Amino acid sequence: MSQSVAITGIGIISSIGNNFDETVASLQASRHGIGTIQHINTRHKDHIKVGEVPHTNHELAELLQLPTTTSYSRTTLLGLIAAQEAIISATLTSEEISRLGLISATSVGGMDITEQQYPFENMAAKTEELLRQHPAGDGTNKIAKHIGIEGFTTTISTACSSSANAIMLGARMIKAGQLDRVIVGGTDALSKFTINGFNSLMILSDAHCKPFDNLRKGLNLGEGAAYLVLESATTATKRQQSILGYLKGYGNANDAFHQTASSADGEGAFLAMKKALEVAQLQPSDIDYINAHGTATQNNDASESAALQRIFKDALPVFSSTKPFTGHTLAAAGAVEAVFSVAALQNNLVFPNLNFDTPMEESGIQPNLQLTTKPLQNILSNSFGFGGNCSSLIVSKNL
Amino acid sequence: MKPCYIISSSSISAQETFEQVPFLQNVHPLENNISKARYPKFADYISRGALRRMAIGSKMGVLTAQMALEKAALTNPDAIITGTGMGCIEHSEKFLSALHENEEQFLTPTSFIQSTHNTVGAQIALSLKCNGYNVTYTHGSNSFESALVDTQLTLHEGAQTVLTGAIDELGTEFIQNTHYKNKALSFSEGAHFFVMSARKNSTSYAKLTAISCEQTITLNNFETYTKAFLAKHQLSVATIDAVILGSFEGDENAYVTKMTNSLFPHNLQLNYKHLCGQFDTASAFGFWAGTEILRTQNIPKALIAKGRVSGAIKTLLIYNQHNGKNHSFIVLQSC
């Protein structure tokens, strides 16, 4: 009999809050974190809007009570803050913590440091040491060490679906009895590399992003980190830990259409959502709210709309993209939005899709515009990335 | 977990592993610092149009994936699971360089797009039009092992076939300028792909019986842990025909010493990194060598560090670690 997967810990940092409570307060107040970039000196600073965590790396290190000489990658610092909050909220003993698995995700890794050290000629020993932080797995190792995790540890990197895949792997390993408990999620910091990368693709907006709007013209990049602690419902109940929700469904499919663009009929997205419903043993009509990927690019929103209509036909549930709040936090997005889904379930709140004016010609679908109270049982959350990687999660209030 | 059957594989490395030649009979010493892999004529297998944008890692990965599928007579696996330590470092360096030189202006997106870690897995899916489960692991020296853990889980959940592989490329700037001085072993690169099946059939020649990864094991606890891992799978030190270790001269490590001197002093001990060089997913070469040993029932002299071959080779233990962390244990058996 496979285990149900309970969510027993939660942690998050983004441009709308340093922790879960601050984040929920911002969502409830429709208070977004989008603005002009402060901490990176880029030529594009006046031409883009971003969701930036309003702290320097030094301040983030202080929040973590790390030595003042710490020069960790910003990706790692954000990850440490969110992971630490999740662990504390799960109220685990140090023995239980040591036995945790850790499945993290990132796309930037230590690139925020690497790009500052570039070019590499005539390197000092200090630079070499900093460059050891470049690979994606390094931040995960630092999180494991800082928290005291000794069990199965890994890192996933599938662009914008990364942390959704991390959550999915954690749930699968618990169901298969391979892990009792695991912390899952991801982290990404803003970097010149990604700012320029997305800019070269011409999909950044110089205004506040408008998901699903007919005049949408691109995304706002964001940064942040979010983690969930997952465990079997049995162990959670046994230790009388309060359960925040259940990871009921998940699905991963590949669009196999193009390296960066999504197919017009949203095949990868359609298959991912379909699989998530099958795993959850739910019908489309059981979904009360969808946290869409909704990056506000021409391509994603059209493709995602097509996929949503294929799954839900004439009965599309209320939906919104929360990227106008936080920006697109890349690899962290799946976990950030899973945390938002837990917040939605706890408060029976559907968050607004900010900045929306006119339905898109392609589909005519209309997202939820106001903060709305509604009884919520099952929430579907989508994350679609470059490379055709499509992942969907279903978070539920009850077993 | 049920065993996962290996039905085909393909390797590109610093040795003659891609060609159809006797398994590691003719070995070449590595260069002093940096050893490129032996590149096949990619244009013989992949269209020039496709090759144009591909960095060497993509070329190696796409080709070995293609070959593994051909050998398995499979056109569409149920899942594609890959591992890479440094990801697409060539394109990352290209984009960084352009960013720096042009001061953030006039940048073209190709290198940025091709620099994402999941590029190879994505390209394979695209070329096959494979909509199945697709994921990339990027956890340093455990990237390939993570891909194997997920492969085992995916087959356990009902998939019939999984295409599993690992890729790492040298790049130029990191490798030439960074922490690769005073090292005992050449840095290298490679790609290894395997078709893994849920069912044994006439073409399966080895099976992945067990795999376990741990971030941290104390030195005091290491022997107990290893023995418990073996016992859990009805094995013991005596039933291991050979241990495969990713160690090399100059890489003294207390954990490897426990393996060679305390746990398996009387077992056949094999090393492989002096052949494939040092890179995050070099353990895929070790795994590949293990599957070839089981397939051919032959252990090339070049692999033997200590001990003698005696009798049939049925059970191999592959152990990997990095700086005393990120331990992994793999049991490979004949089938």
The per-residue pLDDT of chain B, averaged, comes to: 95
Question: CA of A151, closest CA in chain B: separation in Å?
Answer: 5
| A79, A11 contact by CB (below 8 A) | no
CB-CB neighbours of A229 under 10 Å:
29
- Mutation target to probe the A interface, by most A beta carbons within 10 A, among B136, B143, B153 is B136
What is the per-residue pLDDT across B83-96, written as a single tens digit (0 to 9) for each?
999 999 999 999 99
Residue written as token pair 């496709």: B50
What mean pLDDT is predicted for residues B207-236? 97
Residue B83, SS3 per DSSP: strand
Residue written as token pair 């070499």: A128
pLDDT at A387 over 80: yes
CB-CB neighbours of B211 under 10 Å:
21
Distance CA B61, CA B83 (A): 11
Peptide bond into A317 cis (omega under 30): no
Chain A CB contacts of B96 under 8 Å are 114-115, 118, 193
What is the per-residue pLDDT across A158-204, written as a single tens digit (0 to 9) for each?
999 999 999 999 999 999 999 999 999 999 999 999 999 999 999 99
| A38, A191 contact by CB (below 8 A) | no
A–B: how many Cβ contacts below 8 A?
A: 202
What is the per-residue pLDDT across A277-289, written as a single tens digit (0 to 9) for each?
999 999 999 999 9
Model pLDDT, residue A90: 98
Give me the amino acid identity at A325. F
What mean pLDDT is predicted for residues B12-16? 98
Residue B65, SS3 per DSSP: helix
Q: Which DSSP state fits A273?
A: H
Model pLDDT, residue B198: 97
Distance CA B158, CA B161 (A): 9
DSSP string, B252-315: --HHHHIIIIIISTTSEEEE-HHHH-B-TTTHHHHHHHHHHHHHHT---GGGEEES---S---E
Nearest alpha carbon to residue B80 among A385, A331, A386, A158: A158
% of chain B surpassing 90 pLDDT: 90
Give me the amino acid identity at A79. G
Residue A90, SS3 per DSSP: coil
Give me the amino acid identity at A97. I
Note if A160 is an active site residue: yes
What is the per-residue pLDDT across A55-71, written as a single tens digit (0 to 9) for each?
999 999 999 999 988 89
Give the phi and the psi of residue B176 in degrees, each rounded to 5.
Answer: -85, -25
Model pLDDT, residue B185: 86
Give me the amino acid identity at B49. G
Residue A298, SS3 per DSSP: helix
Give Cβ neighbours of residue A18 (< 8 Å, ≥ 6 apart): A53, A55, A63, A81
| B6, B207 contact by CB (below 8 A) | yes
Distances (CA, A) of A279 to A251, A282, A399, B135: 8, 8, 13, 18
Model pLDDT, residue A391: 98
pLDDT at B250 over 80: no
With vertex at residue A226, the alpha carbon angle to CA A156 and CA A198, rounded to the nearest 5 degrees, is 65
Distance CA A71, CA B44 (A): 47
Model pLDDT, residue A239: 95
pLDDT at B131 over 60: yes
A8 φψ region: left (φ > 0), alpha (ψ -120 to 50), beta (else): alpha
Distance CA B164, CA B149 (A): 10
**Residues A32, A55, A328, A390: which is the catalytic one?**
A328
Candidate from A69-73, A139-143, B57-61 with smallest mean pLDDT:
A69-73
CA dihedral B322, B323, B324, B327 (to 10 degrees): -10
**Residues A55, A160, A209, A390: which is the catalytic one?**
A160
Distance CA B333, CA B335 (A): 6
Q: Do A271 and B280 touch (CB under 8 A)?
A: no
Distance CA A335, CA A376 (A): 19
Distance, CA of B65 to chain centre: 13
Chain B CB contacts of A158 under 8 Å are 117-118, 121, 134-136
Half-sphere exposure of B75 (CA within 13 A, CB side): 1
Nearest alpha carbon to residue B143 among B84, B191, B188: B84
B307-315 long-range contacts (CB < 8 A, ≥24 apart) are B307/B242, B307/B266, B307/B267, B307/B268, B307/B269, B308/B268, B309/B242, B309/B268, B311/B241, B312/B241, B313/B241, B313/B242, B314/B241, B315/B235, B315/B239, B315/B240, B315/B241
Interstrand relation of A224-232 and A153-156 (parallel, antiparallel or unpaired) = unpaired
Model pLDDT, residue B32: 85
Nearest alpha carbon to residue B81 among B170, B155, B2, B7: B155
What is the per-residue pLDDT across A83-116, written as a single tens digit (0 to 9) for each?
999 999 999 999 999 999 999 999 999 999 999 9
Distance CA B296, CA B303 (A): 14
Would you state the structure tokens that stand for residue B252, as one six-digit string?
């003294």
Chain B CB contacts of A132 under 8 Å are 179
Give Cβ neighbours of residue B236 (< 8 Å, ≥ 6 apart): B227, B230
For A267, name the nearest residue in chain B, comparing CA atoms only: B131
pLDDT at A3 over 70: yes
Distance CA A269, CA A263 (A): 9
Confidence grade of residue A309 (pLDDT, cut at 50, 70, 90): very high
Note if A293 is an active site residue: yes
Widest pairwise Cα distance in chain B: 65
Confidence grade of residue B179 (pLDDT, cut at 50, 70, 90): low
| A229, A6 contact by CB (below 8 A) | no
Q: Do A197 and B118 touch (CB under 8 A)?
A: no
- Mutation target to probe the A interface, by most A beta carbons within 10 A, among B86, B107, B116 is B116
Interstrand relation of A153-156 and A101-105 (parallel, antiparallel or unpaired) = parallel
A69-97 burial, b at 16+ Cβ within 10 Å, e below that, comes to eeebbbbbbbbbbbbbbbbebbebeeebb
Model pLDDT, residue A2: 66
Model pLDDT, residue A126: 77
Would you state the structure tokens that stand for residue B255, as one six-digit string?
């954990």
What is the per-residue pLDDT across A374-386, written as a single tens digit (0 to 9) for each?
999 999 999 999 9
Widest pairwise Cα distance in chain A: 63
Strand partners, A12: A226
- pTM, entire model: 0.98
